[in-house]
Amino acid sequence: MLKIKKIVELRKILESYRLNKNIIGLVPTMGAFHAGHLSLINRARRDCDQVVVSLFVNPAQFSPGEDYNKYPREFESDIQKAKAAGVDLLFAPNEDELYPRKLLTHIEVADITDCLCGKTRPGHFQGVALVVAKLFNIIQPDKAYFGEKDWQQLKVVERMVYDLNFPVEIVPLPVVRDKDGLALSSRNQYLNQVEKRQALVISEALKMAADKIKSGQRYAVKITGLVEEMIAKTDGVELEYFSIRQPENLTEVKVIKRKVLLAIAVRLGKIRLIDNILVEVSDNVSDYAKEQNPSGNNYRG
């Protein structure tokens, strides 16, 4: 595995790959690798001839007062994990390499960044779009791999790629969880043992909400109320949002009629965690349908 810090050096190596018509896969990361990152790398390894992993804690996506300075940095451990996973190139630039001068260019993906995490993290998705666009221009991958845990981020990247005609295929992969159901995150290592137990309410609340939908509840406000009540009963956990959304454009859903995204963000002290699940509505009978047609006659979903 080659460890590269300079853009010029990276481009020279990538040029040789392209001359050999290699398929290049990119896994963008901020390091502190866990099984979720490794699932992306493993999939890229299966799909591509050459795998590039970027390792860069991007200051542009941290809002003032967030944990940029404290974000986990485990470079030596990440190197060993990347090497063991079969990564060909580890691109680990310093800040001056990617942002040598004051930024005058910004990328904003409108509408889908106005909700969920976008409401409480001003500028976050501009920073995400900017660094991903820079990586796509520098590396020019054929495929890029993103986890579905950051669903809103995934949709921002997909829309940016579509709108700006980047010649890259975005490959999403499912959320990876520990045995207790907690979605894996680099920020999980901030949690002490008590907080880890408290954080389990996140996945439990999502499962409860999904079960309500599958059993026929179709009013989002009723499900939201149940989640809020459940979180409120858990000491140390503050609900930032729970929302039921259309998966692609992230518009709010009030009456559930088809597949929906259940998205949640909570805080445990200064630690912020997010999670989500998709729920497919497959039954024809619901609370909503019954209320519209109490007799149950001639109902069609």
37 in active site: yes
Q: Which of 34, 37, 106, 124 is catalytic?
A: 37
Q: Are 177 and 224 in contact (CB under 8 A)?
A: no
Tally Cβ neighbours within 10 Å of residue 219: 17
Q: Tokens 């940095």 map to which residue?
A: 73
Q: Give the chain's length.
A: 301
Residue matched to tokens 């779009």: 129
Q: Quick one: which of 34, 14, 124, 16 has its CA closest to 82? A: 34
Strands 238-245 and 143-147, sheet pairing: unpaired
Nearest partner of 236 among 266, 207, 258, judged by Cα? 266
Q: Are the C-beta atoms of 43 and 147 separated by less than 8 Å? A: no
Task: Give the pairing type, strands 50-55 and 89-91.
Answer: parallel
Cβ neighbours, 10 Å, residue 220: 21
What is the distance between the alpha carbons of residues 110 and 18, in angstroms, rounded to a whole number?
Answer: 34
Q: Residue 214: which residues within 8 A CB-CB, separation 6 or more?
A: 279, 283
- Active-site residues, by number, are 37
